Structure 1
């Protein structure tokens, strides 16, 4: 089964852009109550996922970095500890299980690597649960 029927579209997904500051990213995470959020560049391409842990490690390992001056650091300056894999919209649901084991969501891109949405781990688990019990 193709993943397109499980797509949570970009219009409904909170994401941050590479032009945002560390503080803006933190505020987006807090506002949407996410523990991780996709990062999109100015061309709309998926470039990675920023997690709460990434923010905490940056804060811990950067002398002089405080909440009050987080706006001086771009999200591009934050090391991502985990590489979140994305998939093509043409992927099959069977390709998703291994990714869902390690990621809260799987970013979905088109053939030009433009971010078009996510597949949530919850939806992947529900799909497999229904198919196992049927």
Structure 2
């Protein structure tokens, strides 16, 4: 199975430029009700993932920071606790499933490492569920009585 089948294209992914502000991240994540969004660099490459936790920990560790000041803080100054590993569009399903165990989504890049979209873990789970159900229905019924 080609992973392009599962791809949510970049145009449909809520993402932020890697140099967006803390306030922009908070507002976009609140509006879309997301807990994490991909960051894109100036060349269109995947630059990381910013999470609610990253933003909260940053603010917690700066008690003098007011909400009004968040528009002056760049995301490049906010430490990211995770960086979702990427896959290339020509990767196999095993690579995708392996990454999805630890990531809510898997960023997908082209052969020039430009971000082209994501594959959500829920899509992979749905795919695996279909395979399991197909395999279960193709087995003959065993009567143990």
Give the TM-score, by structure 2 length.
Answer: 0.88
Could you tell me which runs of 5 or more consecutive residues in structure 2 were left unpaired when the two chains were aligned: 135-145
The separation in 2 between residues aligned to 1:64 and 1:112, in whole angstroms, is: 42
Q: Which residue of 1 aligns with 2:137?
A: none
Counterpart mapping for 1:1-134 below 5 A: 1-134=1-134
Q: Distance in 1 between matches of 2:34 and 2:63?
A: 26
Report the Cα distance in structure 2 between the residues aligned to 1:86 and 1:64, rounded to whole angstroms: 36
Give 1:10 deviation, angstroms.
0.5
Count of residue correspondences:
134
Q: Which protein has the larger Cα radius of gyration, Structure 1 or Structure 2? A: 2
Runs ≥4 residues deviating over 6 A: none
CA deviation string 1:76-132 (max 9, x = no partner) = 111011121111111112212221122111110001110000001110001111112
Q: TM-score, normalised by structure 1?
A: 0.95
